[in-house]
Amino acid sequence: MEINKVRSILSSHALFASRVPHSLNSVVLEEPDKNLVRQWEKGDQLPPRKASVIARVGGNSHLLIVDLSTSRVDQADSPVPESGYPIVTSEEMDSAASAPFSNADFNRTINSRGVNLTDVICIPISSGWFGNKDDNTKRVTKIQCFSTQDTPNFYMRPIEGLTLLFDLDTKRILEITDTGQSIPVPGSTNTDYRYSTLPNHDKTRPLNTISLEQPRGPSFVIEDNHLVKWANWEFHLKPDPRAGLIISQVKIHDPDTQETREVMYKGFVSELFVPYMDPSEAWYFKTYMDAGEYGFGLQAMPLEPLNDCPRNAILLGVTPSIPSTVCR
C-alpha cells in the first residue's frame, strides 16, 4: 500500500513526467535520525514516514526522499554524483535472459556448436565494469548460457567460453565473446541430483522424523510485531530487500547490575563478495556481490513450517509476495 503511494507521488514529479524509460530499483524506509530513534518511547508520536527511492531514469541514477505524510518529494539528488549503479531488478534480469536469442550472431554461434536453441537458457551473471574504456559509463552485465537438454540441472551443462555483454539501460547486446568453440558441452548423465531420480532411492531405509518440542511454548515473546524479547535480550527484527535481515536496538539485561544496557544500534550483513578468481575471459568477471547486485531479501525463498522451521517458530516476510522467509 505504501509502495503504491510512493509510486503515485513520483508519477507527478518532473523527473518522471517525460516518456524516458525509467525504473524504481529500490524503495525502502528512510530511517529517522539515530538520536531521534533512541529518544523515542512507546506512546510518543511517530516521526513522519518517508521512503528512500533509487531510480534509474534516462541512463542516470537518482536518489529521492518521499514524504508519505505530505505526499511530496523532500529531496532529490539528480543525478547522483557518486559512482556505482543501483541493484538489478527482476525485469532487467528477464530482459538480459531473453536478449541473446534476438541476436543473429549468437544464434549462429549456438548452431555451430550443434546445440539446439530451444534447449538453451541464458542468465545475467555479474554487473559492473569490464575494462573497456568506452563502457565505463554504461550499466552493463555479463551473460552466460547453458544447455537444458536432458537435465533440470542446467548449471552442470555450461556452454563454456561464450559470454555476452548486455547494456541494462538500452537493452542491447554490446559484445559477444566466444573462446570456447573447442570446449564440448558437458553431458547430462548423472546431473540430476533430486532424490526421486537417484538410483536405488526406493531401497534406501528412510530416516525417522525428528521433532523439537517445547511443552510450555516458545521462550521468546514478540511485542508490537517487531520487538523480540528472549532470555535477558531484547532487539528489533525486520526484513530488508537488500540486507535480508536487520537486527537493531539490541539490549541486554545485566543480572549483576540489574541494569539494561545497549549493545548494538543496528547490525546486518553489508555484503557477500564471491570472487571466482579465474583469470580466463569467460570467468574473470564472476565476482558476485550478492547483497548489492541482487539483494539478500529479494532472493529469499519461502520457508515451510515444521520443515525449515521448528515448532513454535513465527514466520516473517521480506516482501508481500514472499510472506514466509524468516523464522523467529
Same domain? 42 vs 121: no
- Reference 126, options 103, 160, 162, 96; nearest CA is 96
What phi-psi label fits residue 96: left (phi over 0), alpha (psi between -120 and 50 degrees) or beta?
alpha
Same domain? 53 vs 6: yes
> Has residue 153 been placed in a domain?
yes
- Reference 240, options 325, 318, 323; nearest CA is 318
Strands 220-223 and 287-289: unpaired
pLDDT at 8 over 80: yes
Spatial contact of 31 and 91, defined as CB atoms under 8 Å apart: no
Q: Give the residue with greater pLDDT, 208 vs 28.
A: 28
Count how many domains the chain has: 3
According to the model, what pLDDT value does residue 215 have? 86
Separation CA 233–CA 215 (nearest Å): 22
Answer with the one of 168, 186, 204 that is the final residue of a domain. 186
Average pLDDT of the segment spanning 320-326: 68
Q: From the CB of residue 202, how many other CB atoms can be counted at a distance below 10 Å?
A: 7
According to the model, what pLDDT value does residue 85 have? 86
Share of the chain above pLDDT 90, in %: 54
Separation CA 153–CA 161 (nearest Å): 19
According to the model, what pLDDT value does residue 136 have? 67
pLDDT at 297 over 90: no
Which of the given ranges, 71-80, 170-179, 215-224, 286-295, has the highest pLDDT on average?
A: 170-179
Q: Mean pLDDT lowest for which of 105-109, 119-123, 192-196, 266-270?
A: 192-196
The domain that holds 46 is classified in CATH as 3.10.450.40
Same domain? 167 vs 232: no
pLDDT at 320 over 90: no
Answer with the one of 46, 77, 108 that is the final residue of a domain. 77
pLDDT at 272 over 70: yes
Average pLDDT of the segment spanning 169-190: 93
> Has residue 295 been placed in a domain?
yes
Q: Give the residue with greater pLDDT, 129 vs 189.
A: 189
Q: Mean pLDDT lowest for which of 73-82, 89-98, 184-193?
A: 73-82
pTM score:
0.84
Same domain? 112 vs 64: no
Average pLDDT of the segment spanning 222-251: 91
Q: From the CB of residue 5, how many other CB atoms can be counted at a distance below 10 Å?
A: 14
> Has residue 214 been placed in a domain?
no
> Has residue 117 been placed in a domain?
yes
Average pLDDT of the segment spanning 235-252: 92
Q: Give the residue with greater pLDDT, 325 vs 100.
A: 100
According to the model, what pLDDT value does residue 84 have? 79
pLDDT at 321 over 70: no
pLDDT digits over 119-172, tens only? 999 999 878 777 766 666 788 999 999 999 999 999 999 999 999 999 999 999
Same domain? 61 vs 110: no
Separation CA 328–CA 321 (nearest Å): 19
Spatial contact of 73 and 13, defined as CB atoms under 8 Å apart: yes
According to the model, what pLDDT value does residue 328 have? 67
Q: Give the residue with greater pLDDT, 79 vs 27.
A: 27
What is the domain range of residue 302?
A: 220-327
In this prediction, residue 118 has a pLDDT band, given cuts at 50, 70 and 90, of: very high
Distant-in-sequence, close-in-space partners of 270: CB < 8 Å, separation ≥ 6 = 243, 291
> Has residue 148 been placed in a domain?
yes
Mean pLDDT of the chain, nearest integer = 89
pLDDT digits over 246-260, tens only? 999 999 999 999 999
> Has residue 168 been placed in a domain?
yes
Same domain? 96 vs 153: yes
